[in-house]
Structure formats: C-alpha cells, structure tokens
Homo-oligomer: A and B are copies of this chain.
Amino acid sequence: MSRISNKDKILANGLQVVLERGYVGASVRDIVEAAGVPQGSFTNHFASKEAFSLEILDRYFANSRAVMAETLRNEALPPLKRLRAYIDASIGAIRNHGTKNGCLVGNFAAEASDHSEIIRKRVSVIYSEVRAAMTDCLRAAVKDGELPKNFKTGEVATFIVTGLQGAWLVSKVERDLAFAENFKKTLFSTVLSSSN
C-alpha cells in the first residue's frame, strides 16, 4: 500500500512541479521534495525522468480524453455545442492547474520535445487523437446541417487544434485566459458561423 501511495504522490505532485518548471527545469529532487517521499521511491517507480514524464503526460491526456468523451464525442449534444463545451471544459481545466502553468502538452511540445524523441512522438500522437475527435465533431455538424456540406472538416479541425494550442500558450504567458476566450468567441463568430 505505501509503495502505491508514494507513486501516486510522486505523479500528482510531480505533475505540478513539471507544469511550473518545465521538463528540464524540474529535477528529480524537486519532484520528490514536492511529493514528500525519499528519492529512492522515485527510482523504485520510474526508470528515468523521461519515463516519469511520459507517465504524467499520459495521465494528463487521460483527463483530456475523458473531457473529449463528455464534450466533443458526446452525441447527446448538438455538434457545435459539443465543441463549445470542449473549449469551456479545457479552459476550466487549465484554470484549475494554474493559468500561468499553461497546457502540459503545449509545454512539452515547446521544450521537452527538444530533449526526448519519445516524448515528442507521444505529443504528436496526442495531437492526432485530438484532431480526429475534432474532425468527427465537425463532420457531425455538417451531417446535422449546422455547417455547410462543402465545409473542410479536416483542415478546419487542424486549424482549431493548432489555434487552441496557441491560445493556451499566450494565456499562460499573459496570465489571462481572456486570450482563450477570445479564440473561442472569434472561432464561433467567423469560421463556424452559419453565414460561412
């Protein structure tokens, strides 16, 4: 029991440390200090900081996947409401972790991907999965007549995923989620407006 508990402490507190200091800036010592566990506990559970970082990335994205299931892939909602709910939930999640810490996926894209090819590839797979969910949601919007038949679902889905990543990044540096709110508002009033 105590080993499992220490691992959970390392993952939960370590995620916060990595969000605050980055992949390179967060040392194993910082992580075990934040978790309140001995350094040996880290090495018992993780082969390296890279292995640990892959695990927090997977846990972070498991939350995002759950959010996507409740929003982008939630067939109980009209498609464009799913998309709005997804962005709103993502804004809430980033606020909960601290606006100044941004999005772990984006932070790893900018920094950890320079130092670990495995992390870079995992980030790329994550982007693909988000793009696929976004594309499916836009296709459903076309099918339901919320968007025109000739709407370029794949291209716009990629546009939205890249744009959101930028909105998290600018919100992080500005300490202000208004940049993400502006992205959402402008997206819906232009790209996704019925007049398009």
Contacts and interface: CB of A to CB of B under 8 A. Distances in A.
Counted per complex, copies of this chain come to 2
A61 B117 CA distance: 28
Interface string A85-111: 000000000000000111000110111
A118 to B, nearest CB: 13
Contact of A113 (B113, B120, B159, B173): B173
Contact of A183 (B162, B167, B189): B162
Nearest to A182: B158
18 contacts: A21-B115, A22-B24, A22-B114, A106-B166, A107-B110, A107-B111, A120-B173, A124-B173, A127-B170, A155-B186, A161-B170, A163-B166, A163-B167, A165-B166, A186-B191, A190-B196, A191-B191, A196-B196
